[in-house]
Amino acid sequence: MSTAIKFGTSGWRAIVADEFTVANIRRAVAGIAAYVKTQPEPHRVLVGRDPRFLGESFVAEASRVLAAAGIKPIVISEAAPTPAIAYAVRELKTSGAINFTASHNPPEYNGIKFSTHDGAPALPEVTRKIESAIAALDASGGGGIPSPFADGFETADVKPAFLKRLAELVDLKAIAKSGIKVVYDPFWGAGRGYSTDLLRDAGVTVDTVHDYRDVLFGGHAPEPDDHLLADARAKMKEIGAKIGIATDGDADRFGIVDEDGTFIQPNYIIALLFDYLVETRGWKNGVAKSVATTNLINALAEHHKVPLYETPVGFKYIGELILADKIAIGGEESAGLTIRGHVPEKDGVIAGLLVAEMVATRGKSLGVQLRELFAKVGSFYPVRENFRLTPERKAAFTEKLKLDPAELSGRKVSSVVRTDGLKLVLEDGSWVCYRLSGTEPVVRAYTEARSEQDMESLSAAAKAFVLS
């Protein structure tokens, strides 16, 4: 019996040689081809990858399946960031893109992400159609999957046009004029040669770590998180850098280190950039954030008199608002953001460049800027924790999430939000949000206190609710 292929918030991911096999890749791509053929002609699909193991082979296989189905594949020869592929979809006016990437997942994983003709991640109604097409092919005994034939396909270099667009959106001259030094950590991933080329061409001093291909990503997940940025910190200290920027395996997520080595969590980066874009660009059309992202953004939206959109978790929802030009910036606490006039997709490259511009233009460290933001609209201290549940406890907690509790460990709940999962807002504006993982027996608890002192007690209350 064939493995069911399910597309989550960022596509289908699995362990290579376990579920991520050539046979299953053919099934997934044949399902995508069936969907593409229901869309307007000409049927052309970009096929790209991050630098993971066997990526080149998977791209070639997918291209052959597309061609056999009567769809023209356009092969992206080199590993490319997810946002660069999204931009190329729009520039080349293709039917979409198939991107072989598992983003920030560990090196044994790979995945297929499908972007639609607008460059945005496929919405649930699209992925359901693809899954249905795969199921129909399976039911037919696989006879509907075209036999792949020899390649020799059209190729594309997505880098030049993407860098040109970034140069239009980021004030590179301001970064160069300030004289700041930058360290960039691409985590051996697809972002290599993007931020660095732009900055160096503009005259900025930039140094790198992990700037070569390693399909094992140093032996861990290519995730630009606090505990994995020691080498970037050391390089910053060595050259006297004011800012350290990092991207994950496919360069759609970012990690930022302040001049003193402090990791600035993505929640704060999104809020700071929102404030900065209103200040420097005058963009006041709106701001978007997922339900699990800091309410510092809510407070700033109120302060700047800007419309606020709170979305379910999943960047595709923010992408829709970008396409409609309803927001200046949209972001998620899991380190994804994009801005007005750019791709409807997470972009860790532009995130890092904009932070460098903000530090250069304001002439202040991120820590100082964050304290000033707190002084303006109040302080917010967000934390995310994962709790692993037994199957029995997960079933019980699933039922518990259907209730509207009046209190949380003796603290009165002032409102219940069900945009995604269960969010309990307390009287002082602090909150807890619970979301069950769709792939493992884990509940994610997002908490945000209004003071450092309250962080610990609120986190304990959130945990007690899960385990009680």
Task: Encode pLDDT of 6-41 as tens digits.
Answer: 997 689 999 999 999 999 999 999 999 999 999 999
Helices 22-36/55-68 angle, 10° precision: 40
pLDDT digits (tens, 9 = 90+) for 388-401: 999 888 889 999 99
Q: Nearest 5°: CA angle at 221, between 441 and 357?
A: 115
Provide the 8-state DSSP code for 217.
G
What pLDDT score was predicted for residue 271? 98
Q: Which residues pair with 447 in a beta bridge?
A: 383, 432
Q: Quick check: 289 and 332 in contact, CB under 8 A?
A: yes
Residue with tokens 């970008």: 322
pLDDT at 376 over 60: yes
Mean pLDDT calculated for residue range 304-329: 96
Confidence of residue 237 (pLDDT cuts 50, 70, 90): very high
What pLDDT score was predicted for residue 4? 87
Q: Assign 433 to helix, strand or coil.
A: strand
What pLDDT score was predicted for residue 145? 65
User: Which strands make up the sheet holding 431-436, listed edge to edge?
Assistant: 381-388, 442-449, 431-436, 422-426, 411-417, 407-408
What pLDDT score was predicted for residue 149? 62
Q: Assign 339 to helix, strand or coil.
A: strand
What pLDDT score was predicted for residue 165? 98
Neighbours of 379 (CB within 10 A): 15
Q: Quick check: 13 and 102 in contact, CB under 8 A?
A: yes
Closest CA to 50 of 5, 94, 102: 102
**CA gap 275, 51 in Å, rounded:** 35
Q: Which two tokens stand for residue 228?
A: 């994995």
Q: Report the range of poorest mean pLDDT among 42-51, 251-260, 440-449.
A: 440-449
Cis check: omega of the bond before 42, within 30 degrees of 0: yes
Q: Which domains does the chain have, with CATH numbers?
A: 12-157 (3.40.120.10), 161-377 (3.40.120.10), 381-467 (3.30.310.50)
Beta strands, E only, 154-210: 154-156, 181-185, 205-208
What is the phi/psi pair of residue 296, to 5°? -60, -35
Confidence of residue 437 (pLDDT cuts 50, 70, 90): confident
Give me the count of residues in the chain.
468
Q: Assign 39 to helix, strand or coil.
A: coil
The reported pTM is 0.95
pLDDT at 414 over 80: yes
pLDDT cut 70: percent of the chain above it: 97
Q: Assign 407 to helix, strand or coil.
A: strand
**CA gap 147, 154 in Å, rounded:** 20
**CA gap 417, 422 in Å, rounded:** 6
**CA gap 335, 350 in Å, rounded:** 12
Confidence of residue 143 (pLDDT cuts 50, 70, 90): low
What pLDDT score was predicted for residue 336? 97
Mean pLDDT calculated for residue range 196-223: 97
Mean pLDDT calculated for residue range 190-211: 98
Q: Quick check: 69 and 107 in contact, CB under 8 A?
A: no
Q: Nearest 5°: CA angle at 322, between 201 and 93?
A: 70
Q: Nearest 5°: CA angle at 415, between 266 and 425?
A: 30
Q: Quick check: 390 and 261 in contact, CB under 8 A?
A: no
Q: Quick check: 278 and 272 in contact, CB under 8 A?
A: no
Q: Is pLDDT larger for residue 438 or for residue 116?
A: 116
Q: Is pLDDT larger for residue 7 or for residue 173?
A: 173
Helices 124-139/22-36 angle, 10° precision: 120
Neighbours of 371 (CB within 10 A): 13
What pLDDT score was predicted for residue 440? 73
Q: Which two tokens stand for residue 198?
A: 């732009």
What pLDDT score was predicted for residue 391? 87
Q: Provide the CA 133 distance to its chain's centre, in angstroms.
A: 27
Confidence of residue 375 (pLDDT cuts 50, 70, 90): very high
Mean pLDDT calculated for residue range 228-255: 98
pLDDT at 3 over 90: no
Closest CA to 56 of 35, 37, 79: 79
Q: Assign 90 to helix, strand or coil.
A: helix
